[in-house]
Amino acid sequence: MAEETTPRIAIVTGASRGIGAGIAVALAKQGRHVVLMARNVDKLNEVAAAITASGGKASVAACDVADHTALAAAIEAVADQHKRLDILVNNAGITRDNLMLRMSDDEWDSVLNTNLRAVFVACRAAVRPMMRGKWGRIVNIGSTSGLMGNAGQANYAAAKAGVVGLTKTIAREMASKGITANVVAPGFIDTDMTGVLPQQIKDLAIEHTPAKRMGRADEIAAAVAYFTSEEAGFTTGQVVAVDGGMTMY
C-alpha cells in the first residue's frame, strides 16, 4: 500500500541512543515523521540531526518517562501539534539489577515505574488520538528476560513480562478500532548499556545464544519497522523475540 502524502507521526521513547535511536532511524526511512523522546536533549538533537541530514523528518520532545504526568502531557502535545498520532514505540527503560534476596523496594519500584507503568501511561494517552484517526500502531519493547526470567533481574523480568500481558490486552481492546499492539523482545544486543558489562558476562550470553553473537540495534529496528508498517494491520497481540534463538528452547 502506498504511503500517505502526509507522513504518519511516530513517537519513539528512549530515542537518544542504542535501540531507540536505531528504531527512530528505521521509521524515518519509512517516511514517518519521528518525534524523539528521552531526557538527554543534546543526544536527541544529534539523532534528529542525523535523520534530517539523510532526508528524513524528525523532531525532539524532551521528557522523562518516569514522570507519568509529564509523559502523558508530552504525548498529547505531539498529537495536538500534528493533528494526529499514528505510531507509538515504547522503548525507554532502566535496569537496577540485584539478586532477589538483596533487592531493595526502591530498586523494584523504580524499574516497574519506568519499564511498566510508563508504558501503560503512554499507551493510554496515545490510543485516544489513534482512535480519532482510526489507525494506530503500538510496539512495546520487551526482553527475553520477560519471557524466560533472568537471575538478578526480578524487577526487570517482572516489568517486561507485564508489558507482554498489557500489550495483548491492548490488542484485544483496540483491534476493532484499527489499532494494533505488538511486542518486540530483544535478546543480547550490542549497545552502550551492554558495552559496559564485563567480557565474562558477554561471553556467557553469547555462549547461550545459538547464533553465537550479539544482536544489533538495526535488527531490532527492522522488526519494529514491520509492526508499524501499513501492511501489518492484521498482525496484533504478537510477541517476536529477536534474540538469535535464545528463547527457542
Please tell me the predicted confidence (pLDDT) of residue 216: 96
Please tell me the predicted confidence (pLDDT) of residue 179: 98
Cα gap 93→145, rounded to integer Å: 13
Q: Which of 135, 156, 188, 227 is catalytic?
A: 156
SS3 labels along 122-151:
HHHHHHHHHHHHCCEEEEEECCHHHHHCCC
DSSP-assigned letter for residue 98: B
226 is catalytic: no
Q: Where are the domains of the chain?
A: 9-244
User: Angle at CA 32, nearest 5°, toward 71 and 192?
Assistant: 60
Pairing of strands 136-141, 87-90: parallel
Please tell me the predicted confidence (pLDDT) of residue 249: 74
CATH of 9-244, one of 3.90.1150.10, 3.40.50.720, 1.20.1290.10, 3.40.50.620: 3.40.50.720
Please tell me the predicted confidence (pLDDT) of residue 194: 77
Please tell me the predicted confidence (pLDDT) of residue 201: 83
Please tell me the predicted confidence (pLDDT) of residue 2: 42
- What does pTM read for this prediction? 0.95
DSSP-assigned letter for residue 153: B
Cα gap 158→152, rounded to integer Å: 12
Identity of the amino acid at 46: E
Please tell me the predicted confidence (pLDDT) of residue 200: 85
Cα gap 161→226, rounded to integer Å: 22
Successive 10-residue mean pLDDT values, the chain, 249 residues: 72 97 98 97 98 98 97 98 98 96 98 98 98 98 96 96 98 98 96 78 89 96 98 98 92
Q: Are 122 and 136 in contact (CB under 8 A)?
A: no
Please tell me the predicted confidence (pLDDT) of residue 4: 52
pLDDT digits (tens, 9 = 90+) for 50-68: 999 999 999 999 999 999 9
| Helices and strands in the chain, H and E counts | 10, 7
